[in-house]
Amino acid sequence: MSSPGGDPLRAKYAITGRFYDVLDYPFERMYRRWRPQLLQDVRGEVLEPGVGTGHNLEFYHPSVHVTGVDLSPVMLRQAQAKLGHVHCAVDLRVDDATRLDSVPSDHFDWIFSTFMCCVMPDELQPKALKQFARVLKPGGRFRLLEVVYSSEPEIRKWQERISTLVERIYGARFDRETLHHLEQEPSLRVTATRYLKWESYLIIDGVCTKNSQQ
């Protein structure tokens, strides 16, 4: 999914965004099996930063209201074209996850995001996480899915071989320190982590603890 980070990423996704669904198709065949499970308990007002071309949208529960934000207008136009297959209310906006200027504070029950932080430079992630804490309600939950370096040696070697190409096309890296940044944000608490295929896909669950004793 396209992510924030200013002009370099916006410029990259002005090109990559046009071909994103084609480039991602081999992986999306696998991801489509995961999306319903990742979203099965997500309800209420939901923010999806880095909504990209909208691959998650059709899997939200019909009762949900999704605000999807992305840095790339090119990606959002493709997400808009998918809304005919979506069963919930969706509001798509151009916005930067490190700022979230269009989003009110204490508004969301959930933040759900896939493959955004692996694209976001590490120096920008604390800014985005502060915004996550700002816009979540106290006790609101978040769930992130990110790609990371695998602990399996053969998979790790393969990732190392393609890492330059992946960064050039998507801006993504396998070595982002997202979990560390989350652990440093005082208003967010990680409650669970788990891995999917090849131990190279990390799910991070957590809760917003501002104004609470959690």
Q: Which two tokens stand for residue 194?
A: 């788990």
Q: Are strands 201-208 and 136-147 parallel, antiparallel or unpaired?
A: antiparallel
CA atoms within 13 A on the CB side of 97: 34
In this prediction, residues 182-194 reach a mean pLDDT of: 98
Residue-wise pLDDT for 119-170, tens only, equals: 999 999 999 999 999 999 999 999 999 999 999 999 999 999 999 999 999 9
The pLDDT of residue 14: 86
pTM: 0.93
Q: Which two tokens stand for residue 10?
A: 């916006």
- At residue 203, the 3 state secondary structure works out as strand
Using CA atoms, how far apart are residues 214 and 211, in angstroms rounded to an integer? 9
Is the pLDDT at 83 greater than 60? The verdict is yes
Mean pLDDT across the chain? 94
Residue whose C-alpha is closest to residue 187's, from 136, 125, 144: 136
Is the pLDDT at 3 greater than 60? The verdict is no
Q: Which residue has the tokens 């499970």?
A: 37
- Cα 200 to the center of its chain, rounded Å: 16
Fold designation for 7-208 = Rossmann fold (3.40.50)
Q: What is the percent of the chain with per-residue pLDDT over 90, rounded to a whole number?
A: 88
In this prediction, residues 18-41 reach a mean pLDDT of: 95
Is residue 181 within a helix (H) or strand (E), and if so which, with residue range? helix 178-184
Domain ranges of the chain: 7-208
